[in-house]
Amino acid sequence: MTDQSAVVSAARRLSEAETTRATCAPIRDLLPADDLDGAYRIQHLNTELGVRSGRRVVGRKIGLTNPAVQQQLGVDQPDFGTLFADMAFPSGAALPESRLIQPRVEAEVALVLGADLGRTDNTVIDLIGAVDYALAAIEVVDSRISEWDIHITDTIADNGSSGLFVVGNRPVPLAEIDVREVEMTMTINGDVVSEGKGAACLDNPLNAALWLANEVARRGLPLRAGEVVLTGALGPMRPLVPGDEVVADLSGLGRVSCRLAQEGPP
């Protein structure tokens, strides 16, 4: 187990990078490469710091569910991060450049819960019963770590490389859609940059959400009614620069869009 002083040091490094919007060195020099629990302890310290400062937890994101994204980042398993209310934007929003450092964008299925998932042995039946509806979503991922030089412990500690997220306007009950068969096309400035389908996300976005429900419950952080779950990318993520217009079409869930606003002098 990683020494608590190393956990605190890593949390401070990432928190300072978040505050200053300046990247930092990877934190894997402070904990063993396979110490996922240590990495989640680092994440939890900064989540608690956010809550104490007045931020409200509204859900969780699952990362690294798509083989293409795993290959991009050199990892081989999912992770999760915390979503705060100030990270959420409606479709069509202009996203503030000042909130991000080195953003990338991906499209995915979001699930909103209508019931708690407090067990550590939830089944897919429990999950389906707890989901109120699905939404099209865009996740703007970000890394506090310089040049995205991350291994699995780096991204876990860095809140799953969370940035912002955008949700669509069309809530769809699971009874009306097979999320495994959702087809996604994402464009930036009108050019197709990513395509995929629900089956690219751990073979089914429900598999990703079930993994999350049991994993966070095991860690004492169960999913609650009203929370949103970003289930993971349906295709490769792409870099985002100020002025970019992003549109994602997800069959059965509709369209979701956003723009990264240009702030300050062009």
pLDDT tens track for 55-79: 999 999 999 887 766 675 566 778 9
Question: What single string gives the DSSP state of each residue in 100-167?
Answer: -SS-EEEEEEEEEESS-B--SS--HHHHHHHEEEEEEEEEEE--SBGGG---HHHHHHTGGG--EEEE
Q: How far, rounded to the nearest angstrom, does the alpha carbon of residue 13 sit from its chain's CA centroid?
A: 21
Q: Is 32 helix (H, G, I), strand (E, B) or coil?
A: coil
Is the full-model pTM beyond 0.85?
yes
Secondary structure class of 65 (helix, strand, coil): coil
Secondary structure (3-state) at 265: coil
Question: pLDDT digit string (tens) for 174-230?
Answer: 999 999 999 999 999 999 999 999 999 999 999 999 999 999 999 999 999 999 999
All structural domains of the chain, each given as residue ranges with its CATH number in brackets, are: 4-260 (3.90.850.10)
Residue 77: its pLDDT value, please? Answer: 76
Alpha helices in 21-102 (DSSP H): 36-52, 67-73
pLDDT digits (tens, 9 = 90+) for 98-145: 999 999 999 999 999 999 999 999 999 999 999 999 999 999 999 999
Short-list 204, 231, 213, 228, CA closest to 112: 228
- Helices H, strands E: what count in the chain? 6, 13
Confidence check: pLDDT of 266 > 60: no
**Contact between 87 and 57 (Cβ < 8 Å):** no
The contacts of residue 157 (CB under 8 Å, 6+ apart) are 10, 11, 14, 27, 39, 40, 42, 43
> Is it the case that residue 1 has pLDDT exceeding 80?
no
Instruction: Round to whole Å and give the CA distance between 231 and 211.
Output: 10
